[in-house]
């Protein structure tokens, strides 16, 4: 016999629910978990008047829309208008903030192929204008804050024929581990305070 909740969903024992959760957490959506945690963190910052930082929308050109009924439009075809720069930007204590969020499942190094040249150029431009630019990395089962100038050093090393990645040891030497919190889940402002203020 199957029992149903008042909303019509069938009851499932807790063990079955946990087993389903483990199956649905795949590599492809781990980046979304990082993004969700950052969005929640930024929401907390905004609601507590700490910072105004938002995820940048990806510029899209809509080409074909289907209107099955007046109240519902369905986008059938769309294209990216241009390459996006970094994931997040905003302002904190009067300074422009700009950062990218990336993750890897690699156990020993972080591949630079996760970044695109136009993102590197954008980060260089932000630094040139005096902005605070960095990367939040989900790597090696931890979260790290890496200043953009260090990423640029790794990128230049790669361009000169060197490694196409940076190692865990390099990251822990120059990066900052961010412990997961409760309200500000990935509290990167603490590191910005330490480095810039």
The per-residue pLDDT for range 51-84, each reduced to its tens digit, is 999 998 776 777 788 888 777 888 777 776 666 7
| CATH number given to 27-57+83-196 | 3.40.1350.10
d(CA 149, CA 156): 10
> Is 98 one of the annotated binding-site residues?
no
pLDDT in tens, 122-171: 999 999 999 999 999 999 999 999 999 999 999 999 999 999 999 999 99
Q: Is 85 annotated as a binding residue?
A: yes
Question: 38-55: per-residue pLDDT in tens?
Answer: 999 999 999 999 999 999
- Does 24 belong to an annotated binding site? no
Mean pLDDT of the chain: 86
Q: What is the pTM of this model?
A: 0.76
**Residue 173 assigned to a binding site:** no
């Amino acid at each position: 016999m199957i029992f149903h909740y008042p909303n019509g969903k069938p009851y499932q024992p807790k063990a079955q629910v946990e087993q389903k959760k483990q199956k649905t957490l795949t590599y492809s959506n781990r980046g979304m978990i990082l993004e969700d945690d950052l969005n929640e963190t930024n929401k907390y910052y905004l609601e507590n008047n700490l910072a105004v930082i938002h995820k940048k929308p990806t510029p899209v050109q809509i080409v074909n829309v289907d209107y099955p009924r007046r109240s519902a439009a369905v986008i059938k075809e769309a294209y990216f208008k241009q390459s996006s720069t970094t994931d997040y930007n905003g302002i904190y204590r009067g300074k422009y903030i700009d950062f990218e969020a990336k993750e890897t499942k690699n156990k020993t190094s972080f591949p630079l192929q996760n970044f695109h040249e136009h993102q590197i150029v954008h980060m260089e431009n932000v630094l040139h204008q005096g902005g605070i630019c960095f990367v939040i990395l989900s790597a090696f089962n931890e979260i790290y804050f890496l200043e953009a100038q260090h990423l640029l050093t790794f990128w230049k090393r790669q361009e000169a024929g060197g490694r196409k990645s940076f190692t865990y040891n390099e990251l822990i030497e120059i990066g900052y581990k961010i412990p997961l919190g409760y309200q500000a889940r990935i509290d990167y402002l603490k590191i910005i305070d330490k480095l810039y203020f």
